[in-house]
Amino acid sequence: MNRIVVLVIAALCSINTNAQLNKKYFKSLNNKQVTSTDLVQWQQVGPGMSGYCEEFWCHPTQKNVMMMSPDMYNTYGTWDGGKSWHTVKDVDGTGKDMGRIRKFEFSHQNPDFGFAISGSGQLYKTTDTGKSWKAITSFKGRYSEITVDPSNDRNWYIGIGDFWNVKKNWRHQNGQVGKLYNNVIYRSTDKGTTWEKFKIGDFEKIDIGRIIVHPTNSKILIAATNQGVFRSTNQGKTWEASGKGLPVNRPRDIDAFFDEKSKEFVLYLVDQTAFVANGKTVTTKGGIYKSTDSGKSWQNITGNLAVDMTKITSKGLQNKYWNSIAFWFQTSAKKIKQIHPELPNEVLDVWHRIQVNPTNKNEIYISHNNKHDKSFLPGGAWKSNDGGKTWKAVARAGKYWIDGKDNTYWESRNNSLNTNTKFAHMQPEMDRREESWGNRFLELSVDGTAYICLDQQVLQSKDGGNSWQQIDDDETAPGSKNWVGRGDSNLPGRNMLLETGIKDRYLLGSGEHGLWQTAPLGNHPDKMAVAVTQIDGQIRHGGSHSPGAMAVHPNNPNIIYFMSYRQENRGMLRKSVDAGKTWENIATIFDADVPQHMRLIFQNSLIIDPVHPENMYFCATRKPISQVAGPYAKKLTKGDFGFYRSFDGGYTWELSNTGLHEKASVRRIIFDVNNSTNLYAAVNDNSGGLYKTTNQGKNWEKMKIPSEIQNVNNVFMDRNTKSLFISCGNEEATDKGGGVWKSENNGESWTRIFEMPYVWQCETSPINSKIITVSVPLPPKTKNKKAQLNPGAYVSFDAGKTWNKINKGLGQQDRIVDLKPDPYREDVFWASQKGSGWFIGYLKGTKKGWSKK
């Protein structure tokens, strides 16, 4: 450890002006927002993205500024064209700000000034180009649009609806799936200080997707709604239907082109694809349209966009077609095949986004979402270079294009055939599957650079769609498969195992993206970064995407175990004897009659007896609190909740709950460091507490702890001092014993060393017992606003006498699911967040990166 770091720690142990163990400090934490110290600075550990992102926006005048708000409630900005991403959430807030932003918009006159609207109607303002945002007001209902007058940034408009919720808002012949909201559009003419309310037409309910203001005439507005296209000539006070020329007039998206020199203004629109019965097959209406008279009328530029489905031989794509038209007609695929058994020779797909290159009015992109929006054709993005006369699939990925079975047909359309999309760790998964994922957003920057999100990765094209490269990760060397994330992870971080028998190998668990380990950084320029590589998951067919608890054999670091709670291999114990190169399932412990994507049960604390490694233990938690939200399977067909033990290396397991109260929720178990026959269990239900066994879990006895403690979420034993720590509190913030309690005499007496209403975890450094970390989540069910203050990461350098809040760089401080000191360095810390991957934290003054031990 360098001299600066030693001096920092020494100073903290003697004098600390921010945190002292006294009523005054903890009263502060529980009564006002406390600013994090700069003692620890966090930076994200890869991989980047790795999740769904429908919300991505480019600054209208600054080509390197972009914002994204993925579906795990993290929100990021980049100011260098995607080379790095940073959280724009308030690291000292509740963690609930800036979640699922539906749109960002910036002034065309002042690039620093902008607004963002969340789906729930919270309006945020920025004055520093999106680096920070302040909530200024909220609107009732759901909101999908905010836009600015490009010629006057005093004028702003907000549209109500859930238009862009692609998972819940689908269109069919009778209307749409999804809730509609009271007809309202808001207008501000004083930069958002006050807002007026108007209606579009006479409809009671409406869903507004896009509002465009004429760039040279502030009075003219054009809106895309579920009720059709509307036009206003008085800044939104009144509106008239303006769908002349549209055969369906159910717009899915609108974009605009404006030439500053010539003042040419052109609107481009995607009209909803409507399927029409035609004997044994169907025809379609809808397509792509443009307007050169500010939205008064529309001209068809669909060109050759329709496709001959009889030339598509893929059964997967054909089935998507049947499902698409079945949904449109609101019947089953089986029945629709009987009514319209013949594939059509000319059919339009279901398109949902459109963008025009700001520098070229004839370069138009469109996209569709196969997975969630009932579309069916291949190609994540399509494009026209000639104003809509001809269209080609320009973002090609997956087995359909690799196998090339329909090459003759695509050649007849002058469409390129090769795959032209480059992914990071998802590449093997994308190559082995047909195009089932679809595209989640489509955006073009002011210089014409195109951005899309195929499945769970953001891609960029700087050459007009000829090639696409992911912008979420950097590979340390070509072909290494070691990735350094750029800071935009949407990965559900799970538990971390930092002591694995190999000093440089840390194991990192994730939801949906498998098991990872740290990897050589190589020549990567950022020596403070951490490289990771996936060892099970998307890199192999049949790999586990959602590992839970994991463990390493105490005598052989090449033997790794982990359990899966969801998706592939769920409910199974998985084992590798070659350090993760290959895996086998050695036990099925849980099962249920529900689809594979549903969660079976959460497993925690997989531990192996260091003296007798054939003895293994874990717990199945009844009341999950830090896990990714979502229902359990209602009824298991195999397995149950509680404490499990195996005496044959994990091949067979028995449930052993004797002595635990009925329906106990066992959240964590640990060994007594003095005797591995003895174990402790943290029970976090409302009748919970701390339990101990002295016979390997055959019987449990409830230990005496302070009577005010209701829920014990975690238990930890310091290997050096033998002190016990329990983390307490609940989601309602009603547990009067909330915080961290310490016992130096095997539980005979307890002292509270940290006082907050809800604590998930407390651990000490294996090399310095004075270093203690604490994870404080937000109590999500509390009505007490004060209990929502100051969630995040805390550290003490003096055995709990004084504390420091250390959230700098974290974006989801309210949901840190794992937090640990580094086992080998006193100046390094690790965190895992519920929806933004893993983080490394460096103590102030640290100059040496983690990989340089």
List of E strands, 46-162: 56-58, 66-68, 76-78, 86-87, 101-106, 114-118, 122-126, 134-138, 143-148, 156-160
CA-to-CA separations, 589 to 353, 401, 585, 595, 653, in angstroms, rounded? 45, 39, 11, 17, 7
pLDDT reading at 351 higher than 50: yes
Query: Fold match between 3-42+476-843 and 51-474?
Result: yes
Helix, coil or strand: residue 75: coil
- 14-18, 50-54, 135-139, 763-767: the lowest-pLDDT one: 14-18
Give me the mean pLDDT over the 374-397 stretch. 97
Give me the mean pLDDT over the 701-725 stretch. 97
pLDDT reading at 608 higher than 90: yes
Task: Indicate the burial class of 1 (C-beta count within 10 angstroms; 0-12, 13-18, 19 or more).
Answer: middle
Query: 336: which 2 tokens?
Result: 């629709």
Give me the mean pLDDT over the 755-772 stretch. 98
**Helix and strand tally (H, E) in the chain?**
7, 65
Q: What is the pLDDT of residues 609-631, one digit of tens each?
A: 999 999 999 999 999 999 866 55
Q: Which CATH number does 51-474 carry?
A: 2.130.10.10
pLDDT reading at 160 higher than 90: yes
Q: Return the pLDDT at 597.
A: 76
Q: Return the pLDDT at 24.
A: 82
Beta-sheet strand order (sheet of 689-693)? 666-672, 675-683, 689-693, 701-702
pLDDT reading at 16 higher than 90: no
Confidence label for 435 from pLDDT (cuts 50, 70 and 90): confident
How far is residue 559's CA from residue 613's CA, in Å, rounded to a whole number? Answer: 11
Beta-strand pair 421-422/468-470: parallel
Phi, psi of 644 (to 5 degrees): -115, 145
Answer for the pair 269, 246: CB distance below 8 angstroms, yes or no. Answer: yes
Answer for the pair 785, 746: CB distance below 8 angstroms, yes or no. Answer: no
Q: What is the pLDDT of residues 283-326, one digit of tens each?
A: 999 999 999 999 999 999 999 999 999 999 999 999 999 999 99
Q: Return the pLDDT at 18.
A: 32
Confidence label for 6 from pLDDT (cuts 50, 70 and 90): very low
How far is residue 830's CA from residue 819's CA, in Å, rounded to a whole number? Answer: 6
Q: What is the 3-state secondary structure (H, E, C) of 23-58?
A: HHHHHHHCCCCCCCCCCEEEEEECCCCCCCCCCEEE
- 63-67, 330-334, 370-374: the lowest-pLDDT one: 370-374
Mean pLDDT of the chain: 94
Q: Which CATH number does 3-42+476-843 carry?
A: 2.130.10.10
Helix, coil or strand: residue 714: strand
Q: What is the 3-state secondary structure (H, E, C) of 571-604?
A: CEEEEECCCCCCCEEEEECCEECCCCCCECCEEE
Q: Return the pLDDT at 631.
A: 58
- State the residue for tokens 């029970």: 683
Answer for the pair 368, 375: CB distance below 8 angstroms, yes or no. Answer: yes
Q: What is the pLDDT of residues 195-249, one digit of tens each?
A: 999 999 999 999 999 999 999 999 999 999 999 999 999 999 999 999 999 999 9
Give me the mean pLDDT over the 104-121 stretch. 98
The fraction of the chain above a pLDDT of 70, given in percent, is 97
Q: Return the pLDDT at 436.
A: 76
Q: Return the pLDDT at 628.
A: 66
pLDDT reading at 17 higher than 70: no
pLDDT reading at 5 higher than 70: no
Answer for the pair 679, 697: CB distance below 8 angstroms, yes or no. Answer: yes
The fraction of the chain above a pLDDT of 90, given in percent, is 91
Nearest to 345 by CA among 392, 280, 390, 299: 280
The pTM of the full predicted model, rounded to 2 decimals, is 0.94
Higher pLDDT, 10 or 595: 595
Helix, coil or strand: residue 12: helix
CA-to-CA separations, 813 to 123, 537, 584, 816, 847, in angstroms, rounded? 21, 27, 36, 6, 25
Q: Return the pLDDT at 2.
A: 55
**What is the domain partition of the chain in residue ranges?**
3-42+476-843, 51-474
Give me the mean pLDDT over the 650-676 stretch. 97
Answer for the pair 758, 733: CB distance below 8 angstroms, yes or no. Answer: yes
